[in-house]
Amino acid sequence: MQSGRLSDFAYSSIKEQLTRGAYKPGHKLPIRSVAEMLNVGATPAREAINRLVFEGALVMVGPKTVIVPHLDLTALYEVTQMRLALEGLATERGTLRATNDVVDKLLALQEKITLSLDERRYSDALHDNKEFHFTIYRLCEMPRLLSTIEALWLRVGASFHDLYPEFAEAKYGVHNHLAAIEGLVDRDPSAVRAAMENDIRDGYRRLKKAAQERLKRQ
């Protein structure tokens, strides 16, 4: 179940819950409740929560209240800009180190994604979509860059997770992913970057639209 530090276990657990959309925006995360739920003491729970606040995955709305962040279009925009810059960098660097094995893996992933979308298994599609992106980003072998990008994904993932299903419906991304794969085959950094940027921007627009509609309904 858990190995080593309880703080890390608590951190991973909450993070996992967040990326699975287990908590609705606004949901409170008091230390003692988290501690009880995970069967750990207050100290590891506290540490995990604070770390997630530092990373921006959770927000403090009062001196003693940490919640799952509400939809925040400003944050979404800002994170998108940072994603374009950093994932663009990772993509260009990665393309130069691409191998045929990676291309095959991406093709397989893309087939899985398409299948998942057809069968409306959005959660699976989103999971493999993330794997698709990070398979490319991992190529550049820049661990610090990678962890920064991961933090950005978590940031929007937390508050926008429940929008992803309606976001995935549109099947945006398929075309961009295929373009990215073609660019990788050609070892053409700027082509792959353009495809990935397009993917990020499409996602941003779709997510923003869904968020605006939801905000209007309430």
Residue from 15, 18, 23, 47 in contact with DNA (CB under 7 A): 47
Q: Does 190 bind a copy of itself (CB under 8 A)?
A: no
Q: How far apart are CA 102 and CA 202, in angstroms?
A: 24
**Which stretch, 103-111, 138-146, 171-179, 195-203, contacts a copy of itself (CB under 8 A)?**
138-146
Q: How far apart are CA 167 and CA 165, in angstroms?
A: 5
Phi-psi region of 5 (alpha: psi -120 to 50; beta: other; left: phi over 0): beta
Residue from 25, 38, 51, 134 in contact with a copy of itself (CB under 8 A): 51
Please report how the helices 100-118 and 122-137 are oriented relative to each other, as an axis angle in degrees rounded to 10: 160
Phi, psi (deg, nearest 5) at residue 59: -130, 150
CB of 49 to a copy of itself, least distance (A): 12
Residue from 33, 65, 81, 212 in contact with a copy of itself (CB under 8 A): 81
Q: Does 173 bind DNA (CB under 7 A)?
A: no
Residue 62 is inside which H or E element, if any?
strand 59-62
33 binds, among a copy of itself, DNA, none (CB under 5 to 8 A by kind): DNA
Q: Which amino acid is at 78?
A: E
62 binds, among DNA, a copy of itself, none (CB under 5 to 8 A by kind): DNA
Residues 60-79: x where in contact with DNA by CB under 7 A, - otherwise, as a string = --xxxxx-------------
